[in-house]
Amino acid sequence: MADLFDITGKTALVTGGSRGIGLMIARGYVEAGAKVYISSRKAEVCDEVAAELSKVGTCVSIPADLSRDDECERLAAEISGREARLHILVNNAGATWGAPLADYPADAWDKVMTLNAKSPFLLTRALVPMLEAAGTADDPARVINIGSIDAIQVPLLETYAYSSSKAAIHQLTRHLARQLGPRHITVNAVAPGPFESKMMAATLRDFGDSIARSSPLGRIGRPDDMVGIAIYLASRAGAYVTGAVIPVDGGIATTK
């Protein structure tokens, strides 16, 4: 049973791995014995987090601005130059933007859609050879896309590009799962509800109590909740799951 959830010795890349949900996953993977590369736009922060996580395992910083096509390619090339195989890719880097419908900026739409939907596609495509090299029929390589419950239910806040981009990443997950399954690569999405993160900080500050009450489980997400699903999908326990969108939200999006 211990082997079923074991990811010791696997190599992972977590984008947006220096804070929030990405950091939760990166820390969980490092503590579980994986070699973890983290990437984020702010080099100093990325380096500091990698140094901290390296105290308990192996974590390497490769800063990149994934809102740029060339940076997606560069990050993939950097990983390819250091490793022969990549077992786990977590596409977590993302952005949000809220504004009233009449005032929603076109450039904000483009920024959010690019980082949240286009960049995961470009990075995944560039890393397919490394993922294919790592995958086997019994233990495929894994792509884990971070979506959102805002793509399952209509959000209360006016975050039009965010919810649309996350719906796009959910559908991209299904599409890639069909395409990459024969190459021994699974593709799944996690749809988080409210978790403590920089992106959610203002919302939780203003509405945290009411959001917690709206959950059938009566609370917001904790780091271990995210680590649990990330370990499951990356380990042999999740080897026969692909094309799934899994809400991790205490039931908020699926029980109303």
In the predicted model, what is the mean pLDDT of residues 28-32?
98
Strand partners, 39: 15
Rounded mean pLDDT of 205-228?
86
Confidence label for 201 from pLDDT (cuts 50, 70 and 90): low
Query: Distance between CA 204 and CA 141 in Å, rounded?
Result: 35
**What confidence score (pLDDT) does residue 156 get?**
85
Task: Tell me what the mean pLDDT of segment 14-40 comes to.
Answer: 97
pLDDT at 197 over 80: no
Residue pLDDT, tens place only, 95-152: 999 999 999 999 999 999 999 999 999 999 999 999 999 999 999 999 999 999 999 9
State the chain's mean pLDDT as an integer.
95
Helices (H) and strands (E) in the chain, counts: 8, 7
How many Cβ atoms from other residues are within 10 Å of residue 67's Cβ? 18
Give pLDDT tens digits for 83-107.
Answer: 999 999 999 999 999 999 999 999 9
The residues carrying an active-site annotation are 162
pLDDT at 33 over 90: yes
> Regarding predicted confidence, which is higher, 242 or 218?
242
Q: State the fold for domain 3-100+114-248.
A: Rossmann fold (3.40.50)
Residue extents of the structural domains in the chain: 3-100+114-248
Query: Using an 8 Å Cβ cutoff, are 231 and 5 in contact?
Result: yes
Whole-angstrom Cα distance, residue 67 to residue 147? 17
Counting Cβ atoms within 10 Å, is residue 26 exposed (0-12), middle (13-18) or buried (19+)?
A: buried
